[in-house]
């Protein structure tokens, strides 16, 4: 989780004082917005934007792991309900995990569908009899035989997942990849690859092979935050030659 600077900490103290003054002077309902700001000082990266969150600040499930600065935006539902609305069929019995790296951008309505959504193909019937063990006199411990377990969903660093994209169980998405809006991703996506469609297929690479290799070597998302900050002009302008030189010289702001 990112650390607050002195200005942010000072602002939070003022907000807390303001909140309690608000309670004394106004009905409790009028203070809800102030309370929201105070209780989530690290959750919302932009002032007065409650549709975008740092995702790892709201995750409670130990089988969901999210890196720092990864954001989720939702203009339909409360983005803090990501675990409930976006991570589906994720039952503890499978012990499967959702792993998302740092600096990812996840658009509204993106879904991660886990193993319990996969009706087993070994059965002659699509119907999931083991789930209804009481009705059919089956053993409760065999519930997981109702589906095929394909493993964890793993998202790399600096991945952009578009509006209402669907990521299926067992998929690994490499660093720097882009998933187009409403794509259904059923297979692994290599680093810095753009995919789209149903099922998702490669559209093109983001960069040439040499640039991709150099980016994977640099792994800028693992740099100290101040180093990232001081190199932002180079990162945003695509100046990888200067960026590589900067990484070796250890330039800092």
Catalytic residues: 119
d(CA 16, CA 199): 49
What is the rounded distance in angstroms from the CA atom of residue 72 to the CA atom of residue 16? 26
Buried b / exposed e over 187-220, threshold 16 CB at 10 Å, is eebbbbbbbbeeebeeeebbbeeeebeebeebeb
What is the rounded distance in angstroms from the CA atom of residue 159 to the CA atom of residue 70?
9
Report residue 139: phi and psi, to 5°: -80, 130
Sheet containing strand 111-113, edge to edge, reads 87-88, 111-113, 166-168, 184-185
């Amino acid at each position: 989780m990112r650390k607050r600077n002195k200005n942010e900490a000072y602002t939070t103290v003022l907000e807390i004082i303001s909140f309690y003054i608000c309670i004394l002077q106004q009905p409790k309902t009028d203070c809800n917005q102030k309370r929201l700001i105070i209780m989530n000082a690290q959750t919302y990266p932009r002032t007065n934007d409650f549709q975008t969150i740092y995702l790892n600040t709201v995750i409670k499930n130990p089988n969901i792991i999210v890196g720092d600065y990864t954001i989720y935006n939702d203009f339909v539902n409360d983005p803090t309900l990501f675990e409930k609305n976006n991570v589906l069929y994720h039952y503890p019995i499978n012990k499967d995990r959702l792993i998302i790296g740092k600096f990812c951008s996840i658009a509204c309505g993106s879904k991660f569908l886990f193993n319990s959504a996969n009706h087993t193909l070994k059965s002659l019937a699509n119907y999931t009899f083991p789930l209804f063990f009481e009705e059919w006199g089956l053993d409760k411990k065999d519930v997981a035989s109702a589906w095929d377990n394909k493993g964890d969903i793993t998202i790399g660093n600096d991945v952009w997942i578009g509006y209402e994209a669907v990521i299926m169980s067992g998929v690994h998405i490499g660093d720097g990849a882009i998933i187009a809006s409403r794509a259904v991703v059923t297979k692994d996506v290599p680093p810095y690859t753009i995919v789209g469609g149903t099922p998702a297929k490669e559209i093109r690479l983001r960069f040439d092979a040499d640039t991709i290799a150099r980016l994977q070597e640099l792994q800028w998302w693992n740099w100290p935050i101040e180093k990232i900050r001081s190199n932002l002009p180079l990162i945003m302008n695509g100046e990888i030659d200067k960026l590589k030189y900067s990484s070796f010289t250890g330039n800092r702001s």
